[in-house]
Amino acid sequence: MFSPVESAIASIWESYGEPLSLSDIAKSAILSRFHFCRVFTEATGVSPGRYLSAVRIYQAKRLLVSTSLSVTDISLAIGYSSLGSFTNRFTDSVGASPTRFRRMWGEGIHADPDPAPDEQAPASSSPSGTVTGLVDLLPDYASARVYLGAFETPIVQRRPPSSMIVDTWPASPASYRLPNIPPGEWFIRAVAEADSADPEPWTRRSLLVGGQGSVTVTADQVSRVNITLRARRPTDLPILFAVPDLERREFCRSDDPAPAAGHALPLATAVLTTSRGRAALACGASRGRYR
CATH classification of the domain holding 171: 2.60.40
Structural domain count of the chain: 1
pLDDT tens for each residue of 130-170: 999 999 999 989 899 999 999 999 989 889 999 999 999 99
Higher pLDDT, 193 or 120: 193
pLDDT of residue 217: 97
User: Which of 129-138, 153-162, 232-241, 268-277 has the weakest average pLDDT?
Assistant: 268-277
Residue 276 CA to residue 152 CA, distance in Å, equals 7
Asked if residues 218 and 248 have their Cβ atoms less than 8 Å apart, the reply is no
Task: Give the residue numbers spanning the domain of 185.
Answer: 125-239
Residue 286 CA to residue 229 CA, distance in Å, equals 38
> What pLDDT band is residue 182 in, cutting at 50, 70 and 90?
very high
Residue 254, phi then psi, degrees to nearest 5: -75, -15
First to last CA, the chain: 30
3 state SS of 150 = strand
57 within a domain of the structure (yes/no) = no
68 within a domain of the structure (yes/no) = no
Residue 194 CA to residue 223 CA, distance in Å, equals 27
21 within a domain of the structure (yes/no) = no
Quote the pTM value. 0.74
210 within a domain of the structure (yes/no) = yes
163 within a domain of the structure (yes/no) = yes
Torsion region of 196: left, alpha or beta (phi above 0 gives left; psi -120 to 50 gives alpha): beta
pLDDT of residue 266: 36
User: Which amino acid, 154?
Assistant: P
